[in-house]
Structure 1
């Protein structure tokens, strides 16, 4: 898997990029959890989500936000990290100019950043938000949410409690023209300890449905 570096607003950004072998393949960017609580692009959920996209023919990128690993800069409470994510999308689009669509996925803090990027970039047509911290960060910018996607979380999550995520999902589901799916992993905490396989299976199933792969398997 190629190591890559590209320029962000705060300097060099370190990433891992797996280009698809097919022309016109869709793009996927996966965003990691909170940098000040150990979040990096090597987080297991980020890594597994990255490969879920790769296995389905996407050109996929995961990267370290500013101040993490070999990425330059320092933590910026979300504003700078959103700029990093926008720069990452710009970079992937520059190296895969024939890509026909784009997806964004994020874990916890990364889910919050990913949803903000979704609002700013109309080319993003699908999203996966894992354990969005709806109680800790303001998601009111999703008015309306422009794309369909999946929100997946655990019912034993004490960092982002179930009731707060349920409130966010209920709000988004009232919007016309998009479909928000919800997957609740029984017994899973915020970090999906011992539940990562179930989490990735849920995300993979959703991707297969959106991409029409289930129809192909059934044929």
Structure 2
């Protein structure tokens, strides 16, 4: 897992990258929590999501938003961080030009950025949103949500209460053509100090199912069924 440095809108961006040697390997981008509250690419949840994708054959990148670690620049309230995420996806695609599938996963603030990136990049096929801060950030830009995905949060989350996440999910489920899953981890708070394994097992099971279903759909389309 090499350290990488690539160019972003505010200067150099620091990342960690796992490359798969197989042609057409899928790709995934992992986004970390709020930079001003200790969020980095080495956050435990981000780290676990990174390896979950890597263990399933993805070429996967996690990185520090501007002003975090060795990434240049300063916190920009989400606008610049979205640009950082877009630059990171550009870099990831440069090294995986024949990738067959693209996913984005984010935790907390990173989930908010990830959903915005989803709206701007139609090549993203699926998303994993862990503890999205639906109470403190505006998610109304998801109109409509372009891809299917899953929201996961803890029922003891005081930072991003599950009730607010449920309202967001209900709104998105009213749209046609996509499927929005939601899972609530009992006993887990915002940081998954308990329930971390259950959360990871939940998203891993979801990802495995989606990969099978998406491949079956592509095969059916190819066969003209």
TM, length-normalised to structure 2: 0.94
User: What is the CA deviation profile of residues 109-157 of structure 1, one whole-angstrom value per residue up to 9, with x for unaligned ones?
Assistant: 0000000000000000000000000000000000000000010001110
In structure 1, distance between residues paired with 2:108 and 2:23: 32
Q: Note the 1:85-104 alignment, pairs <5 A.
A: 85-104=85-104
TM-superposed CA distance for 1:194, in Å, is 2.0
In structure 1, distance between residues paired with 2:15 and 2:167: 34
Matched, 1:148 2:148: yes
Q: Note the 1:1-219 alignment, pairs <5 A.
A: 1-212=1-212
In structure 1, distance between residues paired with 2:211 and 2:150: 13
User: What is the CA deviation profile of residues 45-89 of structure 1, one whole-angstrom value per residue up to 9, with x for unaligned ones?
Assistant: 000000000000000000000000000000000000000000000
In structure 2, distance between residues paired with 1:165 and 1:114: 15
Q: What is the aligned length?
A: 215
Q: Secondary structure at the match of 1:36?
A: helix
In structure 2, distance between residues paired with 1:104 and 1:11: 22
In structure 2, distance between residues paired with 1:176 and 1:98: 29
TM-superposed CA distance for 1:22, in Å, is 1.0
Shift >6 Å, 4+ stretches: none
Q: Secondary structure at the match of 1:7?
A: strand
Any unmatched runs of 5+ in structure 2?
216-225
In structure 2, distance between residues paired with 1:193 and 1:13: 29
TM, length-normalised to structure 1: 0.96
TM-superposed CA distance for 1:195, in Å, is 1.5
Any unmatched runs of 5+ in structure 1?
none
Q: Secondary structure at the match of 1:124?
A: coil
